[in-house]
Structure 1
Amino acid sequence: MLKLIFLEMRKHRFARNFGYAAIANVGILLFLIMIGVVDWGAEDYAFITYPSSFMLIDTFARVTFIIFGGALISKLIISEYSNKTMNVMFTYPIKRHKIIAAKLIIVFAFTFFMIMFTDLLMGAILLTTDHFYPFITDELTGKQALQLLIKYTISSLSAAAMALIPLLFGMRKHSVTATMVSSIFLVLAVCSGVNGPSVSINSIIVIPLTLGAIGLWIASLSLVRLETKDVN
């Protein structure tokens, strides 16, 4: 399976996606700086505490890379169905479900890694900035840091699984547009704020976990359907 994953990554020149992800991280950083400057002095200042600061960072990371995951599904799976290149791949002496599984593992792993990396990178920048120019009112204890790390590791895993949900809509008519639109609607629904930057739908832990489970179910369903409807 690992060899198949590396072959898929090489075929699609996957290394370029890390460059695009770096550009996305620069964009996220600029947005965070803009929010920090424009919102300065407000009663509900986004960066007033560490929990609210990290929630804002994680929200931007999830929005960006769930949509990025949808783009990867479109490129690695949906476009190959619509271009009929998937039929050629299915003639290889490799089980069909392994081919799709390798692609889905790539999407899941990349989405999880980039959300975690972005959370850690932006968190490190936040801590460094606050050290030299204090603006956060509370202190980050070791216990609190560990709790936040566990929380956002779980959040990243659920978001990576959630990023597989657009596969259901894209596979209906092998539509790249449907895949991307469903990704956008997904992040609008899940990452929308309920009461300012400190509370979002994603903070209700049962919702992202349920959607993550649905994403994994959709991925497993697509593997089952390979032998029937999707191939015919």
Structure 2
Amino acid sequence: MLKLMKLEIKKYKITGYIRNVIIANLIISGILFMVIFASKADMEVPFSTYNDAVLLTGTIVRATFSIFAAVIISRIIIGEYKSKTINIMFLYPINRKKIMIAKLAIVVLFAFTSMVISSIFANFSLYILNIFVNFIQVPLTQEILVKSLINIVVYSAAFSFVSLIPVYVGMRRKSGSATIVTSVILVSLLNSGNSKNSLGTIIIIPLILAIIGAVAAYLSIKDVEKVDVLNF
């Protein structure tokens, strides 16, 4: 399985997305900084505690990289079916399901890693900014730090599997665009409202959707041994 994943990563140059992740992080941090400075000038800071900061940054980061995951799905799964290049891989003496699971695992790992690292980077950036601007009066304690890290890991794990839901739609519609649009709709629904009261912050909802994502991924590949690629 790991060898298959390495081959896929090398084949599609997934490591090249690291540059895109870095750019996205810089943009996210830049937007947060502008919001803080603008709010500070109006005496209306968007959050006053580190818990609120984690909620806000988490919402933005998860939305961003859920869509990133959909783009990768569109490229390494839907795109291969549409171009029929998946036939080449299916000629290998390897179970088709293993090939598809390897692809899905890449998507999940990319989404999870990107969300965790980006959330930590965004919050660290805010911590450094707070030293100079002092928009959060509450001190950062070890308890808050540990709770925030647990929050980041749990939500990132859940949303990385939620990112698999578009796979089912993309395979059914035979469209990469449908995959990305489905992801955008999911992100919009989960993050509508403010960061404190959005559906995505109610942990049970992302967990339920994560299970749905895993089931959707399974349903997308369960008949891969029987389905003729030429009919895609």
Q: TM-score interval w.r.t. the shorter chain? A: over 0.9
Overall identity of the aligned pairs, in %: 38
- Alpha-carbon deviations, 1:34-92, whole Å to 9, x = none? 21122226676323111111111111100110000000000010000000111221111
Q: Which runs of 5+ in 1 are unaligned?
A: none
SS across alignment from 1:39: helix
Match of 1:141 in 2: 141
Q: Give the CA deviation at 1:133.
A: 2.7
Match of 2:66 in 1: 66
Match of 2:38 in 1: 38
Match of 2:214 in 1: 216
Cα contact 1:164–1:219 (8 A) shared by 2: yes
SS across alignment from 1:78: helix
Structure 1 letter corresponding to 2:209? L
Structure 1 letter corresponding to 2:100? I
Distance 1:89 1:57 in 2: 39
Match of 1:201 in 2: 199
Q: Does 2:183 correspond to 1:183?
A: yes
Structure 1 letter corresponding to 2:95? K
Match of 1:49 in 2: 49
Distance 2:137 2:120 in 1: 20
- Alpha-carbon deviations, 1:176-196, whole Å to 9, x = none? 110010011010011122xx3
Distance 2:44 2:37 in 1: 13
Structure 2 letter corresponding to 1:211? L
Distance 1:225 1:126 in 2: 47
Match of 1:16 in 2: 16
Distance 2:41 2:200 in 1: 26
SS across alignment from 2:197: coil
Structure 2 letter corresponding to 1:56? L
Distance 1:42 1:214 in 2: 43
Q: Which runs of 5+ in 2 are unaligned?
A: none
Distance 1:33 1:2 in 2: 40
Q: Does 2:141 correspond to 1:109?
A: no
Distance 1:230 1:203 in 2: 41
Cα contact 2:161–2:214 (8 A) shared by 1: yes
SS across alignment from 2:45: coil
Match of 1:77 in 2: 77
Match of 2:166 in 1: 166
Distance 1:218 1:59 in 2: 23
SS across alignment from 1:40: helix
Instruction: Quote the RMSD (CA, aligned, Å).
Output: 1.5
Inter-CA distance 189–94: structure 2 relative to 1 (3 Å threshold): same
Cα contact 2:162–2:213 (8 A) shared by 1: yes
- Alpha-carbon deviations, 1:16-41, whole Å to 9, x = none? 11111111111111111121122226
Match of 2:132 in 1: 132
Distance 1:38 1:164 in 2: 36
